[in-house]
Amino acid sequence: MSSAPPPVPAGAGTEKNARERARQLDRDDELGFLRNEFNIPTKGQIASTRLPEGASADTANENDTSKCIYLCGNSLGLQPKRTQTRLTQYLSTWATQGVQGHFKPLDNSPLPTWLDVDERAAEMIAPIVGGHVSEVAVMQTLTANLHLLMSAFYKPDINKRHKIILESKAFPSDHFAVETQLRHHGLDTAKSMVLLKSEKSADNILTTEEICNVMEQHKDDTALLLLPGIQYYTGQLFDIPTITAYAKQRGIFVIWDLAHAVGNVELKLHDWGVDAAAWCSYKYLNGGPGCIGGMFVHEHNGAVTKAITDERPEEGYNHRLAGWWGNDKKSRFGMENRFHPVKGAAGFQLSNPSVLDITSLCASLEVFGLAGGMGKLREKSLRVTKFLEEQLEGMGEAERKLFRIITPLDPKQRGAQISLGLDTGLLEGVMKELERRGVIVDERRPDVIRVAPAPLYNGFEDVVDFVEAFGEALRVAKMERDTL
Ligand SMILES: Cc1ncc(COP(=O)(O)O)c(C=O)c1O
């Protein structure tokens, strides 16, 4: 474990009673009980370079047993305590039932039979994204799902619609996915890829107007718009309903990458008329690293209009790359070589899903169930993130000069995350000092840190702890930089 950080005098502008106020806000928080549903690592654990002895993460016997300040749910959500319980139940099922686990219900098990895990997961995730159960599928991973959606809905015609509009600073995986889709169709990326770049913002905070103007400009030959619900770097939340409606009026199909939005902000994908969307589950959904992702396909796009017994089964549904798990359950095990998809998003599945993954994800979705809906979580999140903004703004003048808030200040244009642009040369020192103080946030080079209080397990006092540590980290990092 690294040595304790040296005491640094508090900044002049730090609010004196912030901690008392935060504690009171935490006491009044009706969702505060959810924090106890999570394994919050201790400061000793995050400084340790050893696996804890024994089976449970709780048994670590490290020096510093106070909880770390974890504000990194935008990258990897913390582990719900019930994940271990559910995974143990899954492993016991496998150990004692073997293949029977696929179809044999066990009286005292809370888990569905493996043949039905995808349906249970769809039921649990549907309210989180605001879709009908038939419009969502828990499957694959985010980038794979973007490709699958594009394979189904991006059918370019070079003489008509062939362009894809996306941000110029899209998450690289989205950029690669679009680029390779275009090449896959034999298209020239220079002609078919339209990159959204803000005229006004160096950070590429795009206004709805800017996005709509580009769509208007390319409306005759654009096939697809791919945007993130929340931008990973800036934390900007886009106006999904307005942008979607504008695109659809111009015949442009819209896919949303909801990696940073799902489990973070309220989504009403069905009501907003979103064509399709995909997400991962390791951030605000706390499924675990690399856990199974999901997709939404609006009922307009997932319909199957012909009966399975049709002579021409290739008609009656939107084409996609298919596998047996997307085939109607009634004939899936008949082993016929005639694909007929299940109606809705489930018809886009390829393989039988990882039960290990789905069990892990569903353990966390149980906790979302306890929260009483995304509306309540978002309401708390708005207050905690506003508190974070206020505490950052109230820092001493000397520290306040060393960073800028990149994320829009309008709460309607952001989720839980606030991105901070640091003065040149401070990033490494700040991250090192935060870590020494038991604070986990993440960095995006060259000079951004992302700070995200996740409303399921973070509270107001976490914010005060962070801002105090951040002030100290800035002072130390500046001192070190300036003496170099
Ligand atoms: C916005 C965004 N899109 C795509 C991805 C890639 O996700 P995956 O590795 O699950 O495909 C990420 C990963 O963090 C992301 O943040």
Task: Mark which of 302, 335, 359 sits at the end of a domain.
Answer: 359
Say which CATH number the domain at 146 has: 3.40.640.10
In this structure, the answer to whether residues 198 and 341 fall within a common structural domain is: yes
Nearest residue to 435 via CA among 74, 77, 70, 73: 70
Provide the 3-class DSSP secondary structure of residue 15. coil
Provide the number of structural domains found in the chain: 2
Count how many Cα atoms sit within 13 Å of the Cα of residue 389 in the half-sphere of its side chain.
19
For the chain, how long is the longest CA-to-CA vector? 79
> Which positions make up the binding site?
142-143, 171-174, 257, 260, 282, 324, 352
CA–CA dist 400, 246 (Å, integer): 39
In this structure, the answer to whether residues 205 and 340 fall within a common structural domain is: yes
Is there a domain that residue 299 lies in? yes
Is there a domain that residue 1 lies in? no
In this structure, the answer to whether residues 43 and 168 fall within a common structural domain is: no
Provide the 3-class DSSP secondary structure of residue 53. coil
In this structure, the answer to whether residues 378 and 355 fall within a common structural domain is: no
Quote the DSSP letter at residue 289: T
pLDDT of residue 311: 76
Question: Look-up: residue for tokens 């800035």?
Answer: 474
167 lines ligand 1 (CB under 6 A): no
CA–CA dist 323, 467 (Å, integer): 50
Helix locations, 225-321, DSSP H:
240-249, 299-302
How many helices and strands (H and E) does the chain possess? Answer: 16, 15
CA–CA dist 263, 241 (Å, integer): 18
CA–CA dist 15, 396 (Å, integer): 9
121, with CB counted inside 10 A (0-12, 13-18, 19+), is buried
Angle 374-393/355-371 helices, nearest 10 degrees? Answer: 80
Encode the chain (484 residues) as per-residue pLDDT tens digits: 345 555 544 444 456 699 999 999 999 999 999 999 999 999 999 999 999 876 555 544 456 889 999 999 999 999 999 999 999 999 999 999 999 999 999 999 999 999 999 999 999 999 999 999 999 999 999 999 999 999 999 999 999 999 999 999 999 999 999 999 999 999 999 999 999 999 999 999 999 999 999 999 999 999 999 999 999 999 999 999 999 999 999 999 999 999 999 999 999 999 999 999 999 999 999 999 999 999 999 999 999 988 777 777 778 899 999 999 999 988 888 888 888 899 999 999 999 999 999 999 999 999 999 999 999 999 999 999 999 999 999 999 999 999 999 999 999 999 999 999 999 999 999 999 999 999 999 999 999 999 999 999 999 999 999 999 999 999 999 999 999 7
Which residue's CA lies nearest to atom 13 of ligand 1?
A: 259
Query: Which atom of ligand 1 has the smallest separation from the CA of 290?
Result: 10
30, with CB counted inside 10 A (0-12, 13-18, 19+), is exposed
In this structure, the answer to whether residues 294 and 171 fall within a common structural domain is: yes
pLDDT of residue 13: 46
Quote the DSSP letter at residue 223: E
Is there a domain that residue 366 lies in? no
In this structure, the answer to whether residues 155 and 289 fall within a common structural domain is: yes
141 lines ligand 1 (CB under 6 A): yes
CA–CA dist 164, 218 (Å, integer): 10
Is there a domain that residue 9 lies in? no
In this structure, the answer to whether residues 208 and 332 fall within a common structural domain is: yes
pLDDT of residue 277: 99
Nearest residue to 267 via CA among 249, 288, 244: 244
> Which positions make up the binding site for pyridoxal 5'-phosphate?
142-143, 171-174, 257, 260, 282, 324, 352
Q: Which domain holds residue 63?
A: 18-67+374-483
In this structure, the answer to whether residues 268 and 385 fall within a common structural domain is: no
